[in-house]
Structures are given as C-alpha cells and as structure tokens.
C-alpha cells in the first residue's frame, strides 16, 4: 500500500502540473462518478489544487467539487504530457483528467468519489483521521495521546491506526521502531508517553526525508534473514494483523518493554 510520503509526492507533482488549468477531458470507469460528471460537468472547470490528507489524494475543482481517491494496495496516479504514450495498459485505467498540456491518469485506483467540498469536510473518512504526519502543523503529542488510548495493542499495530496517526504505513512503522530501539510487539501500555512521542517523531523525520527526495537504505524493512547493519544480528520478520503485513525488526537492537507491576499487600 502506498504510504503517506508517496501520496504526498503524487499530490505535489499533480498540483504543480494541474493547478490553475482548465479541464478539457474527464473520464471514469466508476459509474457513480460518471453519473456525477453528467450532472456537474467536470470539463470546463478549473483545477484549483491537489493535496493529500493521510493516504487520501484530493483534487479540488472550481465550483466546490472534490475528487477523493485512495490507492489501497495497487492504485497509482501517473502524469503525462498530452500525446505521450501511457506506461500502463488501458485496461488498468480508472480515471483520466485532461488539460491542454497534461493528462493525469489513475491506474487501478479502487476507491474514488466526486463530492461537494462541504460534504467532504463533514465526512467521517476525513474527520476521524488523526494528525497528518506530514502536515506542517503536525502535533506529535496529540498523535501520542491518540495512540495511548489503545493500551492493549502492540505499538506496531497502533502506529498503523489512521485515526491515531494519518499517513504512516508499514515501511516507516518498521524503520521508526528500529530507529527508536523498540520491539514492534511491545504493548502500548508498557511504553511511556516519551517513548511514543519519540517513535512518532522518528517516523515523521524519516517520511519528511523521503518527501524531500533523500535516498534511504532501509535498516530493517525488506531485510528479513540478513544481518543488522548495526549489530550483525539476523533481522527477524513476522506476518502480523488482519492484512498479514510483514513486520521486520532486530531482536537485539529493539528492546521489548514490560511495565513494572506494582505489588499490593
């Protein structure tokens, strides 16, 4: 699944090419969006901006209309100069937004809706999102507070809860936990608030570096069975959660925390 940094970069690229331009062509394989286009008529409208909230990519049109897409596992947006051959087959097409200069094409995007801006802002899909980890005004303490209200789950699972922290995915979950020295399967209840803030801030730092285009050599992600770059211990891996995501960690460098139990007499 594309993570928040990927969605952020896609939105930034689309915004640079499309913002302020007039839509000349609009195509959708989604029947609800096609019917909405028949009613609202997207061609002729101006693309005001493209931005991201967590893992949602939002394209704002004049007249208070917004196209919301979510990539899930395999969706992707491509941007082409008009007349350029697409790099994916037409059968993968889900949406096309054309201007005089560009075509923005969504391939294999499973979730899309065309909605009034006011309805979007009231939608639980966005209202219930936690702080966006890539937002300029991000509040790590608020994200940590939201994570702390799920004390019985593991920190690896808690970091992926988009209602606590929007935008982070499996890659940066693994890398941030390694950078923080925390075992992924430590319960939230066994961590201090400082521990939680630290791992959230590590994730934000790593993701912002990715957005800035800095090349990263992953410390643990995708390195199961290989030696830890720091201590040489074999990197462990385990499928975890309902979606069977693979978690990677170093058993030596990442400490399992267990809260001390208070004995009562």
Active site positions, annotated: 2-3, 55, 245
How far is CA 86 from each of CA 79, 89, 106, 160, rounded to the nearest angstrom?
9, 7, 11, 33
E-state strands within 13-92: 25-28, 47-53, 56-61, 65-70, 76-81
124/111 Cα distance (integer angstroms): 15
Partners of 60 in the β-ladder: 49, 66
5/172 Cα distance (integer angstroms): 10
3-class secondary structure, 67: strand
Helices marked H in 59-160: 117-122, 124-127, 140-148, 155-159
3-class secondary structure, 225: coil
Contact assessment for residue 11 and residue 50, using Cβ atoms and an 8 Å cutoff: yes
């Amino acid at each position: 699944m594309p993570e928040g940094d990927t969605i952020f970069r896609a939105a930034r690229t689309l915004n640079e090419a499309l913002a302020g331009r007039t839509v000349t062509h609009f195509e959708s394989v989604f029947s609800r969006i096609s019917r909405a286009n028949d009613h609202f008529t997207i061609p002729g409208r101006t693309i005001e901006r493209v931005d991201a909230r967590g893992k949602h990519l939002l394209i704002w049109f004049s007249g208070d209309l917004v196209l919301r897409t979510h990539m899930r596992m395999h969706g992707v947006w491509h941007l082409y100069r008009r007349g350029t051959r697409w790099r994916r087959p037409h059968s993968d097409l889900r949406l096309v937004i054309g201007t005089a200069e560009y075509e923005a094409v969504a391939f294999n995007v499973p979730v899309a809706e065309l909605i009034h801006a006011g309805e979007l802002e009231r939608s639980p899909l966005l209202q219930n999102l936690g702080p966006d980890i890539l937002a300029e005004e991000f509040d790590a303490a608020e994200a940590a507070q939201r994570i702390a209200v799920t004390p019985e789950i593991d920190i690896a699972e808690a970091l992926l809860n988009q209602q606590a922290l929007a935008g982070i995915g499996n890659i940066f979950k693994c890398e941030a936990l390694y950078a923080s020295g925390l075992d992924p399967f430590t319960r939230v209840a066994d961590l201090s608030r400082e521990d939680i803030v630290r791992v959230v801030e590590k994730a934000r730092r790593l993701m912002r570096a990715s957005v800035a285009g800095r090349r990263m050599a992953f410390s643990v992600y995708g390195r199961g069975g290989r030696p830890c770059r720091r201590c040489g211990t074999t990197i462990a891996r385990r499928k975890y959660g309902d979606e069977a995501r693979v978690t990677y960690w170093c058993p030596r460098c990442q400490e399992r925390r267990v809260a001390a139990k208070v004995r009562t007499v």
